[in-house]
C-alpha cells in the first residue's frame, strides 16, 4: 500500500551521438591495447598492420570526440554516455600521442 512507484516523469533520454561516442571510444581503447599487446608478444617488432590499426584508431577517436562534444551541446538529454565517450576518446588520443612520442624520441 505504501510502496514507492518507479515512475519517472521526464522526457529526457540518452543522446544517440553520446552512445556512438562511447562505442567508438571503447573500440579505440581496445584496438590500442591489442596492438600494444601483440607488439609486446612479437618482442617489440610492430607489424605494418598494427600501425594501420593505430591510424584507424586515431580516426575513430577523433570522430568519437567530435560526436561527444556535439552530444554535449544537445538540450534535455542525459549526459552519462556523453561524458564516458569524451573520456574514452581522450584516453585513446593520449595513448596514440604517447606511442608516437615514444617512437619519435626513443623512450
User: Could you tell me which of 48, 72, 52, 73 has the C-alpha nearest to residue 60?
Assistant: 52
94 domain-assigned: yes
Mean pLDDT of 71-85: 93
Is 23 inside any structural domain? no
Q: Which tens digit of pLDDT belongs to each residue from 8-24?
A: 677 888 899 999 999 99
Give domain status of residue 13, yes or no. Answer: no
What total of structural domains would you count in the chain? 1
Average pLDDT over residues 37-55: 91
Residue 69 — very low, low, confident or very high, per pLDDT cuts 50/70/90? very high
Residue 59 placed within a domain:
yes
Q: What pLDDT, on the 0 to 100 scale, is given for residue 10?
A: 76
Please state, in angstroms and rounded to a whole number, the distance separating the CA atoms of residues 26 and 31: 8
More confident residue, 6 or 80: 80
Mean per-residue pLDDT for 47-75? 93
Residue 15 resides in a domain:
no
72 found inside a domain: yes
Residue 7 CA to residue 95 CA, distance in Å, equals: 42
From residue 6, how far is each of 3, 9, 14 by CA, in Å?
9, 10, 19
Instruction: Find the distance separating the first CA and the last CA of the chain, reported in whole Å.
Output: 67
What residues make up the domain containing 95? 31-105
Task: Provide the β-strand partners of residue 78.
Answer: 14
Task: Evaluate whether residue 96 is within a structural domain.
Answer: yes
Burial of 90 (0-12, 13-18, 19+ CB in 10 A): middle
User: How much of the chain is helix, strand and coil, in % rounded to 5?
Assistant: 70, 5, 25
Within a domain: residue 77?
Answer: yes
Amino acid at each position: 500500500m505504501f510502496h514507492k512507484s518507479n515512475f519517472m516523469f521526464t522526457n529526457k533520454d540518452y543522446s544517440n551521438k553520446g552512445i556512438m561516442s562511447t562505442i567508438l571510444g571503447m573500440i579505440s581503447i581496445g584496438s590500442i591495447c591489442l596492438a600494444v599487446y601483440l607488439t609486446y608478444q612479437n618482442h617489440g617488432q610492430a607489424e605494418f598492420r598494427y600501425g594501420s590499426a593505430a591510424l584507424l584508431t586515431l580516426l575513430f577517436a577523433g570522430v568519437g570526440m567530435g560526436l561527444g562534444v556535439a552530444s554535449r551541446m544537445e538540450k534535455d538529454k542525459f549526459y552519462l554516455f556523453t561524458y564516458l565517450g569524451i573520456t574514452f576518446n581522450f584516453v585513446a588520443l593520449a595513448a596514440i600521442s604517447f606511442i608516437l612520442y615514444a617512437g619519435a624520441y626513443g623512450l
